[in-house]
Structures are given as structure tokens and as C-alpha cells.
Amino acid sequence: MNQIEIRSSIELPSKRIPLELKTSDNLTLIGELALPFDKTPVATLVMLHPLPTAGGFMDSHIYRKAANRLPALADLAILRFNTRGTTSPHGTSEGVFDGGVLERLDVEAAVAYAHSEKLPNIWLVGWSFGTELALKYGPDLDVLGAILLSPPLHRTSVDELERWNLTDKSLIALIPELDDYLKPDEAATRFLVIKSIELINVLDAKHLWVGESATKRVLDEIVKVTSPDSYPLPDFYTP
């Protein structure tokens, strides 16, 4: 049986379901759920995308590659969506960008949808601006925890960070060595207020995780936490 090398543009088999999420303030958000093709998912990732005013959306490359690979390679369900006012190749969500405030309702809608579909073991995965949403609102949501990619800590207060100490949720942060906003030394200081957080410093990586080696490292770290039996991810896929 022929093996398929895992490369940047690879799209492995999955069930792809277009979504319209309804927020409590009556907005419709565009999204997609990617599921394992012929298995029950072992866990669910609710993906919170980078800053939309700087080009971030549900199709940002790490999230697109997660949806293209992880249902097949790690039996994960990947729930992506555009926050209010955000446009991507999948479409435009209603509303306007609110700097991370009313986006709380967007995150709540996505997690509520995952629960309504009885998806298992729900995790938040935030990237850049998405980490702010995860940190601000994760303590109040019925999720197992959050995985943070390139957290800038621009919009999250010390009080909001400290709220994680009142939960038993897991918190893991990947800090790029060459990040534009929060490098490892500063991250170690800023996150000291959280008693239980795992900081993973990634050598030579940048904020946008460009390149296949950076993508694989991010996806490996996500899988290590959420689907450990599938870690490390393979370099080849066998249909």
C-alpha cells in the first residue's frame, strides 16, 4: 500500500461539515467541523484564530493544516470558525470586531455547539489574539483546558490570568524563541501569576510558525496533550 508523505499542502481524509454558529446576541458565525472519516473522535479542538484586523481567520495556516491532518492522524475533531466581522475563504461572520470583548459570545457559541453535538474532551486552542480569548474566557467554559500558540498577552489582565488558579483546567503555552511580542524570558515572568502552566519554549520559531518544521512541532505538541496515543505524528500517511 502506497504511503503519502505529509507535506505542507496535504489534505487527508476527513468528514467536513460547514457550520453556522448562532451567538447569544443573535449573530451568525461561519465555521467548519472536521471529523475523523470512519472513527469516533477522541477529543475536540475549538480553534480561536489570530487577530482579524491583521489578517487572522479560521483558515490561518496552522489551523487549516490541523483540520487537514489531525482527524486522520490523531482522531481529533477540529472546530474552526470566524469570529464576528471576520472574513476568510469560508465566508464572513456577522457583526464587527470588538477587540476581544464581545468575542466572548463567539467562543461561548462554539463551545456550546461542541457540547450540543456531544463531541468529547473539548479543548481551546488559541493562536496570538486567539490566546487572549482563551485566557480571558476559558475559566468559565466547560472545557478541559487551553493550548496557547504565541501568546502576546496584550489584552489579558493579571486578574484574568489569576482566575486560572481557581480552576483545575490544564494550560499549555508554546512560546517561540523569536516571537515579535512575547519571548521566552518575558513569558516566564508574565505567566508567574499562574501556579500551574506548562511553558514550552520553541527554538528558532517565530510568531507565525512559518515552515513545515514549525507546523509539525505545533501539531505534535497539540496532539501530545489531546491525543497522546497518536504522538508523535508520522511523516507518512497510509490510506
Confidence grade of residue 239 (pLDDT, cut at 50, 70, 90) = confident
- Asked if 79 and 104 touch (Cβ cutoff 8 Å), the reply is no
pLDDT digit string (tens) for 132-171?
999 999 999 999 999 999 999 999 999 999 999 999 999 9
In tens, the pLDDT along 39-61 reads 999 999 999 999 999 999 999 99
DSSP state of 233: P
Q: Is the pLDDT of residue 221 over 80?
A: yes
45: in domain: yes
The mean pLDDT value for 65-79 works out to 98
pLDDT digits (tens, 9 = 90+) for 3-44: 999 988 899 999 999 999 999 999 999 999 999 999 999 999
- Ramachandran sector of residue 55 (left: φ over 0; alpha: ψ -120 to 50; beta: rest): left
Instruction: Note down the domain range covering 194.
Output: 15-231
Secondary structure, 3-state, 164-224: HHHCCCEEEEEEECCCCCCCHHHHHHHHHHCCCCEEEEECCCCCCCCCHHHHHHHHHHHHH
Specify the number of domains making up the chain.
Answer: 1
pTM: 0.98
pLDDT of residue 46: 99
Q: List Cα–Cα distances, 169 to 4, 72, 98, 140, 144, in angstroms.
A: 37, 27, 26, 10, 5
- The candidate with the shortest Cα–Cα distance to 105, out of 127, 137, 81, is 137
Residue 95, by phi and psi: left (phi above 0), alpha (psi -120 to 50) or beta?
Answer: left
Structural domain includes residue 10: no
CATH number (domain holding residue 54): 3.40.50.1820
Determine, yes or no, domain membership for 9.
no
Please determine, for residue 93, whether its predicted confidence score (pLDDT) is greater than 70: yes
pLDDT at residue 1, as a whole number? 61
Q: Residue 7 falls within a domain, yes or no? A: no
- Mark out the alpha helices in the chain (DSSP H runs): 61-74, 103-116, 129-137, 158-162, 184-190, 212-226
Residue 6 lies in a domain: no
Spatial distance between the Cα atoms of 195 and 162, rounded to a whole number of angstroms: 8
- Answer whether residue 237 is part of any domain: no
